Amino acid sequence: MVNSNDKPEIPPLTEVPDLSAESSPKLNDIASVVSYELRTPLTSIRAALGLLLTGMLGTLPEKGQRMLEIALSNTERLMRLVDLLESDSDIGAEIDPENDLSTCSEIGSNISTGIGNDFAILRQSSENSESLLHKLAAANWQQRFYNELTALPTLTLFMRWLRQAIATAQPEQTLVILLVDIDRFNVINDSFGRELGDQLLRSVAQRLVLNLPLVQAIAHLREDEFGILLERVQTVGEAIAIAEKVQQVFATPFNLNGQDLFLTVSIGIAAGTAHDQPDDLLHNAYSAMHQAKALGKARCELFDAELRVKATSRLRLETDLRMALARQEFQLYYQPIVFLATGRISGFEALIRWRHPQRGLVLPTKFIPLAEEMGLVSRISQWVLYQACSQLRQWQQQFPTKPPLTVSVNLSAQQFTKSDLPQQIQQILQQTEIDPGSLRIEITESAIMHSLETATAVLKQLKTLGVQLYVDDFGTGYSSLSYLHRLPIDKLKIDRSFITRIDSEAEQLEIVRAIVKLAWNLGMDVIAEGVETAPQLAQLKALRCEYVQGYFFSKPVDHAMAEMLLRQEFIAHP
């Protein structure tokens, strides 16, 4: 899950050296102590100054802006020294031990005054300064250790701190990592654009720094993931309390160009001791974070032994999922949609399945959420669209009907917000040579309401292509009745949860009746999903529902069985 870039080992800290006249300390002892003691406050100061300067750029008077720049520059001088002390374990050997204290004094003098160029502090470190300067320049420390966007430390630096913390921890001391992941950030990026997404990440970093001043480290690990290191917690309960505080930090909406945006985060908590490996601790935090997402997002989860098993299984599933397209393991199943007025098949809903070599047939509820997290859902959706349209073209040629057979394809919320979705669909329509009116695009009510303005724009673009637009699982999402008339929707699909009790509960019957009447008033047709019994079908006929699908007619079947159903019907009604 995490890239383990080349991470230089940190020399273990020794006890604070005795600086009395009788002692003769080595400079690397002093370097370790100084770098460790300066690391946390300098990081917080640097991040705060960077965010403040970014947020107030153009609003401060020239003198105020210059003062911020000077403060940030001097903080970075200190950080250069800390990085150098930590990264080069031989620094003490390169300096004359008899002059080490005077050397430190000269370095401290230059830092405190802030005079000279960025490398002034290094030029005081004896005849070997030239080689040290070369090492510092080659390392390109700023890009490697600090995120350019948020000014927070990167994963590389975070792992160095974690190693340092573990190396110096007492046997009974508890270390905790919080892994904070922004929920649905890919959807936000696709909806608002990369520039506003970057602005949002800066705001998130600023909130974390300002609201968690006492934690040991806050880092920007990956695009939408932040790491928090806690060294001075007495119990895991304290760590959970801090995680809950992080959740509260996101309770207030973020303002992007005048538009309020509410965010939620999923947090993984992993506790360890001086006996744990840093990479294992971070991996455990990732496992707990993924568990939080699997349980519904917007929550925190504590890692335990059971999660380790789940994490291992998930890792294998991720690896297999990346190979599934190349190995042609995906397969489309088709469930008939029946027009009640004639009792004949009007089309099919295409449903993806994964024929895993060991697990067998895997349902989309198991792997589509994972594909969304991994950024694979767009490729999978394109494959589904192309295969479904190609199959439909073949069936339309084999079984010409009036009107022609149709195919319905579900789009995930993430795929629906892709700016190039209309172009992708148009290209597939041209490649497969089917009439646009034969393709039905299904999108859930919740996905539409998550970003109504974006959804409206995309739906209108799709409508200009001539495709039909369905709202799937209607009645289970947000309350969108007041907006429904603004959307270019052709059909509503009533969720199966209402249909299963339509013949036994009066309330469910009335809900379905209301949805049917609403659709009629808005000029839309209705499809009832999940029809399994004759009494349910009788009620829907009485309500004059136009279309139905469900196990009463057929479960989802492969293309060969679907073709057999069409052939039987075509023979009976040529």
Instruction: Please report the pLDDT score of residue 143 as a whole number.
Output: 59
User: β-pairing, 344-356 with 360-362?
Assistant: antiparallel
Domain 318-572 in the same topology as domain 146-303 = no
Q: Where are the domains of the chain?
A: 1-142, 146-303, 318-572
Q: What average pLDDT does the structure give for the chain? A: 77
> 82, 100 in Cβ contact below 8 A?
no
Superfamily name and number for 318-572: EAL domain (3.20.20.450)
Instruction: Please report the pLDDT score of residue 429 as a whole number.
Output: 95
Burial class (CB in 10 A: 0-12, 13-18, 19+), 135: middle
Burial class (CB in 10 A: 0-12, 13-18, 19+), 475: middle
Q: What is the mean pLDDT of each run of 10 residues along the chain (574 residues)?
A: 38 33 42 53 59 52 58 59 54 39 38 35 40 45 74 88 86 88 84 84 89 82 92 82 90 83 91 86 89 86 72 75 88 95 93 90 86 84 95 95 93 78 93 95 82 81 93 69 78 88 84 89 90 92 93 94 89 60
pLDDT in tens, 475-528: 765 555 667 777 888 999 988 888 988 877 888 889 899 889 888 888 888 999
Instruction: Please report the pLDDT score of residue 177 as a whole number.
Output: 92
Please state whether 541 falls in left (phi above 0), alpha (psi between -120 and 50) or beta: alpha
> Rounded to two decimals, what is the model's pTM?
0.55
Instruction: Please report the pLDDT score of residue 573 as a whole number.
Output: 60
The vertex-179 CA angle with 176 and 180, nearest 5°, equals: 135
Which contiguous run of DSSP H or E holds residue 191?
A: helix 185-192
pLDDT in tens, 235-285: 888 888 889 899 998 988 888 777 788 899 999 999 888 888 888 899 889
Instruction: Please report the pLDDT score of residue 135 as a whole number.
Output: 46
Structure token pair of residue 78: 């200190």
pLDDT in tens, 401-441: 889 999 999 988 777 777 788 999 999 999 999 999 999 99
d(CA 176, CA 229): 6
Instruction: Please report the pLDDT score of residue 127 as a whole number.
Output: 40
> 116, 64 in Cβ contact below 8 A?
no
Best CA proximity match to 151, nearest among 6, 265, 53: 53
Please state whether 433 falls in left (phi above 0), alpha (psi between -120 and 50) or beta: left
Instruction: Please report the pLDDT score of residue 481 as a whole number.
Output: 63
User: β-pairing, 439-444 with 468-474?
Assistant: parallel
Q: Beta-carbon neighbour count of residue 546 at 10 Å?
A: 19
The CATH class given to the 146-303 domain equals alpha beta
